[in-house]
Structure 1
Amino acid sequence: MTEHSFDIKIQTLPQLTAGQDWKLQLAHDRPHHLLIWITRGQGRVLLDGQRRGLGVHNALLIPSGALFALDLGRQGMGQVVVIPQGTPLRLPEIPRHLRIRDVHVQTELNGLIEAAQREQNSQRPLRQDALEAHAALMSVWLRRQIMQEEHVPTRRNAAARLSARYCAMVSARYASGAPMADYAAELGVTPTHLTRAVKAATGKTAADLLTERVVYAARSLLSETIQPAQDIARHLGFGSAAYFTRFMQQHTGHAPSKLRAAKPGQENNRQSRP
């Protein structure tokens, strides 16, 4: 395998978000796999259609395309292993949340991440090859933990299963412009039933999650590209640029032009409910 055939990166949570909390707090998915290792703080994570408490020595595997949101607060800290999609690593295919209680197992993952971090910071030849090897060992670590009886997932109820199916649909179709009711129809339930199930599983309504995913996409495109706002509006299924502007104003407190001009920390992270 040649150098830089794909880039594995080790980052801190602030590096992953570039100082913009909404990049983790809004429900979204990413085009690459994430292994997040929490080293300080506690909060909540939305993953696989469910909201769970999160604390120190928790490991999250978030596969590419899996809807998630993470809120650790200002005191939270963690390490992130970013693994591009299509790598030959044998990563688990479904999202996992592991609470690691064994000190030796905690130390093992800490050591793997620290070794990968040192390799990343070096200027030695074949650095990416070495990072791939470290990531492969992390994959082995993950799969070993998943095999443990204490990490066997509990059976989900009907609401949680429906919520997981809905979240997968949101990840795949958020840019279609379809309302939540269309998702409910495809899932074979009423909008009221879907809203109740998703609220029970995640603490947010089905409409909230769809809105958050669209807001995340819009903010990302506004801050990371030079696409005109009307093109972004069209890409995300809005009928007009004016409607897109009103939507962003309502759900962030700012017009698209201000979000594009703002630097990290200059605007708040307001998220209004629909």
Structure 2
Amino acid sequence: MSDAPQILTIAQWSRGAPWRLNLPHSQPRHALIWVTRGQARATVSGLRRGVGAHNALAVPAGTLFSLDVGPGCYGQVCLIAPDGPALMPDQSEHLRIREVHQQGELTSLLEAMTREASAARPFADEAAEALAIMVTVWLRRALIGQAPAPRLSAAQRLVAAYAALIEQDHATGQPMADYARDLGVTPTHLTRSCKTCCGMTAADLLVQRTLHAAREGLEDGSDAVRHVAAQLGFGSAAYFSRFILQHTGLSPSELRRRARKA
């Protein structure tokens, strides 16, 4: 994967497979999502929020998130390497851009990135980097005018900590109860907090992150099914196969075969 900034529509980002965005996962690059039409629902660090037209959502690299895109929703995403010159926030940010001139500025910058990507001109990577820097300057300027985010509740802080642990340790295969123990709460309390903050149980959040990793390993990789299972902490290939069948209706081999044909 090139380190050059990349501009995609949300539809292109999903690569025609909604699970790539609507299952919890993380990205290796920072993402600035700009929705210009319709509605979406994002869950970032275990906290769910609505994302409407002229909303910008900044998601730092390595942050657990998902994006459910509603009918008729259109937007773009700018993907930026975390070690480059374009400076993105260290934490997620959700901006509702009401000023028309601010909306136009960001849209123009993203359109310029799209033109550079499609024209394949000399020094395109340098041009993309320069435009990405301008996009992040726009973001930091827009943040100056935003009202301070409300302080997180105790439940939100707990769920955010749980989401961070999931992203760090989901491949170990440890059960949700172990995460609750590490966080110093009961599984019941963790589940109640997750349902309040993101509408799913603590176990479901962990299962969905594991499912994303499993589908990625099967559909994008070439490792044997048993190796994918081992990489995700499953005790046996048979257990992994039952997990995939339960959540997709297909066996691992059939899931991989269909992805290759798509």
TMscore range, shorter length? over 0.9
1:176 corresponds to which of 169, 172, 176: 172
Mapped to 2, the partners of 1:224 and 1:175 lie a distance apart of 17
Return the offset for 1:239.
Answer: 0.1
Instruction: Say whether 1:208 aligns with 2:187.
Output: no
Match of 1:244 in 2: 240
Return the offset for 1:84.
Answer: 2.0
Mapped to 2, the partners of 1:22 and 1:49 lie a distance apart of 17
Q: Which amino acid aligns with 1:43?
A: A
Instruction: Say whether 1:227 aligns with 2:223.
Output: yes
Q: Which amino acid aligns with 1:116?
A: M
Mapped to 2, the partners of 1:80 and 1:167 lie a distance apart of 22
Matches within 5 A, 1:19-168: 19-150=16-147, 152-168=148-164
Q: Which amino acid aligns with 2:178?
A: D
Among the aligned pairs, what percent are the same residue?
48
Deviations 1:210-232 (A, max 9, x none): 10110000101111111100000
Moved more, 68-77 or 176-185: 68-77
Q: Is the 8 A contact 1:63 1:94 kept in 2?
A: yes
Return the offset for 1:118.
Answer: 1.0
Return the offset for 1:265.
Answer: 10
Which 4+ stretches in 1 moved above 2 angstroms?
263-266
Return the offset for 1:263.
Answer: 3.6
TM-score normalised according to structure 1 size: 0.92
Aligned length: 262
Q: List runs of 5+ in structure 1 lacking aligned partners.
A: 267-274
Q: Is the 8 A contact 1:19 1:264 kept in 2?
A: no
Return the offset for 1:149.
Answer: 3.7
Q: Is the 8 A contact 1:18 1:264 kept in 2?
A: no
Deviations 1:223-245 (A, max 9, x none): 11111000000000000000000
Match of 2:187 in 1: 191
Q: List runs of 5+ in structure 2 lacking aligned partners.
A: none
Q: Is the 8 A contact 1:20 1:265 kept in 2?
A: no
Mapped to 2, the partners of 1:193 and 1:148 lie a distance apart of 37
Q: Secondary structure at the match of 1:6?
A: coil
TM-score normalised according to structure 2 size: 0.96
